[in-house]
Structure 1
């Protein structure tokens, strides 16, 4: 074989090798596509808006620092307006058209449950930001969540009720997915917690006056405290009506109202003395110096408020946790394959987030225990830590 022929063959071989290498090179440099379906507008916007702002803020920061394993994140966000049918449509679009490798979103329990089958069928990890326990109990292989569950909220509230020497409780619950889920959980755990539910009222998402339900509760013999499972404007209306009726019994809200916006909607005067279980983010500066969450919370709070000009809420914190758990899982897996990524998320241990210290497993797709919840009380328009 002549030298010229050998050179031609060598060039062809090098060319073929370069062509083979191109897809691998492209894969190494291609963006990591992460989806988010959030309720940025609509009745759950006070949840979805800080989630949206948080994801955009930290994706920009991650990309500015070089991305994940050298690849930038491409965040694809859709606004479902709080509508479960729209959420499912967007979930399908993320899977079929946008080709995302993972999903961080699902603002409400209702939208999350509508989307879950789409991601499960596609074997794409889905980290929800909603509260209902049914999202992860029983466990679905590819579905996770960051907030504390409604069952945990009932347990934390009932523990505080008992600590005050009380045991007879009235429920007034929203008929939305979260409200009904938490109502069910409170009914289930009441007996074990030493609580008797003596009244059970409900209200719809469009109701603007809960005076009739609260009047019936006030007239029920033996009520010692009132618990309001719900989120959105409903709990704020309940709180205002409660004050207007002059009811002096302890009032508990859920972690679904854990933001300064709730206090403003309810008015600080009406909200005075209301208690709720919440993530420590609401009281970050009140935590002891040796609390493992304290610095993480202060750093997130500072970054969010500086970037947005808005007060921090636990709901944006849920998005921070979901994104960071996913990013760390991608790093550990060194892959965006759905099953490998799922396994890496399950292996999350000792992650210090805004919701608590997360330790997941194959049978626990949330990884928080009751100690992650803090009991807070509204005093003079501010959240005050009253217990661990």
Structure 2
């Protein structure tokens, strides 16, 4: 459950195929509508992927239990890519060529999504709701890539707005040296420039090994008041742990993909005071309809961890199902694409998503939350 004090007060006190158009209806598996997902379900970056996939499955299961869409169940084919862009491409080719999916959906990570979006574009199959906020994927998106979440630029604007408001201007940036991290660094630099600032220091966490030693040495030498983390999963854990062990202190700000649950499990009390930008409402608050429905379905399922990432997956699945319903009783990739393009203002009960021709960023919702070591979030 979240804390009752305001976030501002708590923060002041405390100072993540080249295929032709698929114009035929989605292949039927026992009358089902086939949707394909490649996600990171194993390895050091798996925390977010597992939670996101579980939130997606939660809503898809509830839809199928109620009779599916026009009497047809949604058949979600989920494959593990281990956060490897090449494996993601192999999975995507299989989903397109063998499974004949009507949509690619719920991919995880900047690198895998960037590698696979050209395949979706060539096949003319929508790739909906990837778990990434990389601005490059929005700026360079073609017709078939649809984002449900806010971008990393939106998230960092919220962070820097808060920090400058309370007088903190020495802001360092730590990033993991891969496509996601470099995109996060670029976003941080752009946002800081809007406030006539530059990063006080930049630290790099090694790719694949997520060794934080160099980042700790570089950032520790400057000891900034706040550190924006363009890291996720094990990279986030490793840096925070090593930085605190060095005797240095700072206010850590993590993106929504920082993997807060993993931080809590592995760092325990050292998680206290980490600030995370969130792209969905608090999953513990019952003030919005979408959260109440999520909580209801999660309670019925009994095996769903209630957190921001599972809620985000649940919301993404709501958008997918609405698009499939609008695509008609025999959905095709093209019909679904058109349905999404015409989804100008979808109110899911306190969370709005909207697309249009040329507009593929469905939401800019961002809030900040403060993590407590007891698992509470002040949001």
- When normalised by structure 1's length, the TM-score is 0.83
* C-alpha contact (below 8 Å) 1:129/1:322 kept by paired residues: no
* Larger RCO (alpha carbons 8 Å, 6+ apart): 2
SS at the partner of 2:38?
Answer: strand
With over 3 angstroms needed to count, the CA separation of the structure-2 counterparts of 1:131 and 1:308, relative to structure 1, is: farther
Alignment of 1:135-214 (within 5 A): 135-207=137-209, 209-214=211-216
Structure 2 Cα separation of the partners of residues 112 and 261 of structure 1: 22
Unpaired runs of at least 5, structure 2: 1-23
Q: Which moved more, 1:336-345 or 1:93-102?
A: 336-345
Structure 2 Cα separation of the partners of residues 163 and 341 of structure 1: 43
Moved beyond 6 Å, runs of 4+: 26-29
Q: Which moved more, 1:35-44 or 1:52-61?
A: 52-61
CA RMSD of aligned residues (A): 2.6
Per residue, is there more helix in 1 or in 2?
A: 1
With over 3 angstroms needed to count, the CA separation of the structure-2 counterparts of 1:323 and 1:280, relative to structure 1, is: closer
SS at the partner of 1:381?
Answer: coil
* C-alpha contact (below 8 Å) 1:376/1:383 kept by paired residues: no
Q: Which moved more, 1:83-92 or 1:197-206?
A: 197-206
2:375 pairs with 1:382: yes
SS at the partner of 2:115?
Answer: helix
With over 3 angstroms needed to count, the CA separation of the structure-2 counterparts of 1:92 and 1:309, relative to structure 1, is: same
| Rg larger for | 1
SS at the partner of 2:257?
Answer: helix
Quote how far apart the aligned CAs of 1:327 are: 1.4
1:216-237: per-residue Cα shift (whole Å, max 9, x none)? 323227x332111111111112
Quote how far apart the aligned CAs of 1:46 are: 0.7
1:276-331: per-residue Cα shift (whole Å, max 9, x none)? 211344x33457x3xxxx23123314433652535323333333222221211122
* C-alpha contact (below 8 Å) 2:174/2:228 kept by paired residues: yes
With over 3 angstroms needed to count, the CA separation of the structure-2 counterparts of 1:232 and 1:305, relative to structure 1, is: farther
1:174-230: per-residue Cα shift (whole Å, max 9, x none)? 112211111111112211134331211101134465244223323227x33211111
1:131-177: per-residue Cα shift (whole Å, max 9, x none)? 32222223310111223211112211111111211112111111122
Match of 1:31 in 2: 32
Match of 1:368 in 2: 363
SS at the partner of 1:255?
Answer: coil
- When normalised by structure 2's length, the TM-score is 0.85
* C-alpha contact (below 8 Å) 2:135/2:152 kept by paired residues: yes
Quote how far apart the aligned CAs of 1:111 are: 0.9
Paired residues in the alignment total: 353
SS at the partner of 1:233?
Answer: helix
